[in-house]
Structure 1
């Protein structure tokens, strides 16, 4: 059994990667092909050539490869506890009369300023300058993609950190006899 001092010496802050496809136009094309494939599979073939589903599936696979080529795996890292508390304090909830703004009340921070800053603070790869961040957040990412990054950043700092489990890897190592 490893002693605590050895574990402490090797300790690192939690990290996570979030894959983001930066070519949203490809996503739309893929979704269109999915609809075409569904239609083709539901329509009975009227010729020996078939229903065309094979060609659609081939195009989908090629498009999927293209999407992967335009996908970046953002690496995020948690903050230390003191940095997290200071960071939260930098984004206090906004007042709304005698109350706290309803959107800010749940998280305890100004959600308008906090989440963009949280993503910038948490992403360690890629390293971007201010202009690149502005373009990424303001012009490139969808709201959903931004939510994926901000959820991962929040979770790294406020969620559970546990030992991941992969059912697929577990089945493979059990069936191959490796330990």
Structure 2
């Protein structure tokens, strides 16, 4: 640790491991919305939600709970400046790629190295149970990810290593504490 006690920033990426439920969830939400739209305002005045609507709403929440229970939290930590520079140097931008040139590295190869070096912990979201998952496991596990999931990690690593590190401000927390 430094004389100043400086630490590097961290972030947590939530990975829903059972995304097969997503389609079922979308369908259940659509059915619930349809029921809600077709119920007349007079019916809602007497009984806000029908038995069928309550059953659909319950199913939506069950699916959300199942997906939440399948969620793994992966903690990433910014690399030391020299480590980050080393990773960038190992993945020079392709001359014919405008995105690479703008970012300063090969966007196709940079992620796996940078993400693997940034992983510092993993646990199940709902139980807090630690999971034995390290940077050594990254490449094999990430092969199962969608492009969107992978992008969550690459964006997080870039933000950790390239963003300003000023004290954050939460307007909501400030407002709650003022009341």
Task: Indicate whether the TM-score tops 0.5.
Answer: yes
| Distance in 2 separating the partners of 1:35 and 1:43 | 12
Unaligned runs of 5+ in 2: 123-132
| Distance in 2 separating the partners of 1:8 and 1:38 | 57
Match of 1:9 among 4, 7, 28: 4
Q: Per-residue CA shift, 1:81-109, capped at 9, x if unaligned?
A: 111111100101124xxxx4334222111
Q: How far 1:154 sits from its partner (Å)?
A: 0.4
Name the residue aligned to 2:126.
none
Name the residue aligned to 1:148.
152
Find the residue that maps to 1:16 and give its secondary structure.
Answer: strand
Unaligned runs of 5+ in 1: 1-6
Name the residue aligned to 1:76.
76
Find the residue that maps to 2:143 and give its secondary structure.
Answer: helix
* TM-score, structure 1 as length reference: 0.80
Name the residue aligned to 1:161.
165
Name the residue aligned to 2:121.
125
* TM-score, structure 2 as length reference: 0.80
RMSD: 2.3
Q: How many residues align?
A: 162
Q: Is the 8 A contact 2:77 2:160 kept in 1?
A: yes
Match of 1:105 among 85, 101, 104: 101
| Distance in 2 separating the partners of 1:108 and 1:42 | 51
| Distance in 2 separating the partners of 1:129 and 1:14 | 17
Q: Is the 8 A contact 2:118 2:135 kept in 1?
A: no
Q: How far 1:51 sits from its partner (Å)?
A: 6.8
Name the residue aligned to 2:22.
27
| Distance in 1 separating the partners of 2:135 and 2:6 | 29
Q: Is the 8 A contact 1:44 1:51 kept in 2?
A: no
Q: How far 1:129 sits from its partner (Å)?
A: 6.2
| Distance in 2 separating the partners of 1:135 and 1:53 | 42
Q: Is the 8 A contact 1:19 1:72 kept in 2?
A: yes
| Distance in 2 separating the partners of 1:56 and 1:33 | 7
Find the residue that maps to 2:54 and give its secondary structure.
Answer: helix
